[in-house]
Chain A
């Protein structure tokens, strides 16, 4: 499902990701820990095809990147720090736009609006909604096209416990999708993970199955 071999991504002369190698089977969950600037977001963006790898081998959904990126797009859902939605448009208009881009029917838009409990506020411009609601709309956007691979960058930020519970069936373990999650929460993150990657300054400082990782080791990364 995801195979990385010596992935390198540079930013000028600095290596934002340096020699990252791992293997994640279909349906598995990889949780990435690390301090800010460690390269978590970069890794997610490379996997989503937004960034090209500079060297190393990257295989996502059985396709090599960057050559076959076109075949991977549309099967990946990215939930990043930005909601990727237009503030002047309503939730419904935004989702319909994404549906058209992905060739997905409009019924799906209504389905997801209901799933994130935004149906009654769906016709108000996003700029009038709270951060939590916008995040829910973003979750709807990311899962609208039923992606095989979910890339989540600190998904539960900005969400209260109720909202967090609400989106669980869409992006949680029960969804049975392959997932890569970046997290700052050692215990919570660990419980969801099958595989754990700890990044420090772009380098993999820790790579192990989740059940053999101790929360203390994760705290070490931030030291």
Chain B
């Protein structure tokens, strides 16, 4: 199983490196969105709830771009068949794709979070950074799992680019709630030390539940 996941992940990252279809687009989209927010809100700097909101909306929508591209190469070039013919555990594809999406999200955040701190964020990130990283990690896991599931659902339908976000966004609402509430005190004018534990727990629970469900149902999406 591990060998299969490694082989799949390697192929994923290789294709992405060759085509650069997902990550640059996602990152650029995030940067542009920050500028849009500046003009739309007519604010030079934001903090607290507003800051958390802008950050998470931007990250989420940028993630949708990545979700849309996730299975396109496989669907269009017969990659599913090749995988289905191999004597391997089919859940390996879920794991590999989710890990790949997670990798793309991490790169996205490496670009977007500093950019956000630079362009829009009022208070400095400094002390809040470790906690922010925890929130980002937990939220990313949720987005990666749901994103992979939804991408697999949407890719072989007729309106694939539309259905992806339409399915993913409502499903990710608890992640939005948890992540925004957890981030808001970290970005406040008066620094909170830590995120309220309840939101981290909510995110963790969400990741666990949907991780398990995704594992259980994913195989059914691969069959012809």
Contact = CB atoms under 8 A, between A and B. Distances in A.
Answer whether A and B touch in the complex at a CB cut-off of 8 Å.
yes
SS of A interface (majority): loop
Interface string A89-113: 1000100011011110000000000
SS of B interface (majority): helix
B19 A88 contact: yes
A86 B79 contact: yes
A84 B82 contact: yes
Nearest to B76: A87
Interface of A: 45, 48-52, 70, 73-74, 76, 78, 80, 82-89, 93, 97-98, 100-103, 125, 141
B84 A89 contact: no
Contacts of B218: none
A101 B86 contact: yes
B94 to A, nearest CB: 15
Contacts of A100: 3-4, 6-7
Interface residues on B, range: 20 to 34
Contact of A89 (B18, B88, B224): B18
B86 A102 contact: yes
Given A50-B224, A93-B14, A97-B7, A86 B85 contact: no
A27 B77 CA distance: 31
Given A78-B81, A86-B79, A70 B73 contact: no
B77 A101 contact: no
A148 to B, nearest CB: 13
Given A51-B224, A78-B85, A102-B86, A84 B18 contact: no
A80 B81 CA distance: 10
